[in-house]
Structure 1
Amino acid sequence: MTFPKPGPTPGGFRPGPPPGGFRPGPPTGGPAPQAPAVSVPAAVDEATGRIVEETGHPAVDEVLRSLANAARLAPAEQIAEYEAAHQVLQETLAGIDR
């Protein structure tokens, strides 16, 4: 059995540059634009719509605090925080089934 090769078909359509030949130039000087500060709500109570600051589960509460703190980090550093939070939440959920 043969499988098709991934990717576009040979001779297929490839979009070109936009009409008018516009190419973005170098920055015009001045301060670089800053990303707006983001407030990450911990969780939202579906019944009331209010933000829940604590769930009552210590591991989950700690993850929520770490995610709120991660919003203040540089994007590259946020990845590690999100991965760690994901790991803890997976382990917590797996422990519920036991």
Structure 2
Amino acid sequence: MPGPRPGPPPGPRPGPPPRRWSGEDADEAGHPVVRAVVQAMANAAVLAPADQIAQYEAAYQTLRETLATIDQA
């Protein structure tokens, strides 16, 4: 008679893979600058890696400036 069948490993079970943001279900109530930066980052995905870096740095700077103005309000 065969022994017990092994079950799943102990611990948390992995969930589904994260969804990629497509922009189609974007919240229109969000901050317009943040929405524009997120769209620019999504557009940068098709660029060459060297060009992506410049886009990401510009997005980072824009978000820093935007958050600073929100904090001051």
Give 5+ residue unaligned stretches, structure 1. Answer: 1-38, 44-50
Q: Is the 8 A contact 1:67 1:82 kept in 2?
A: yes
2:48 to 68, 74, 95: 74
TM-score (norm 1): 0.47
Q: Counterpart amino acid of 1:41? A: W
Q: Which runs of 4+ in 1 moved over 4 A?
A: none
State how many pairs are aligned: 53
Larger Cα-atom Rg: 1
**Deviation at 1:42?**
6.3
Which amino acid in structure 1 is aligned with residue 21 of structure 2?
A: P
User: TM-score, length-normalised on structure 2?
Assistant: 0.61
Tell me which of the two structures has the higher relative contact order, counting C-alpha pairs closer than 8 angstroms and 6 or more residues apart. Answer: 2
Larger relative helix fraction:
2
* Percentage of identical aligned residues: 53
Structure 2 unmatched ranges of 5 or more = 1-18
Supply the RMSD in Å over aligned alpha carbons: 2.5
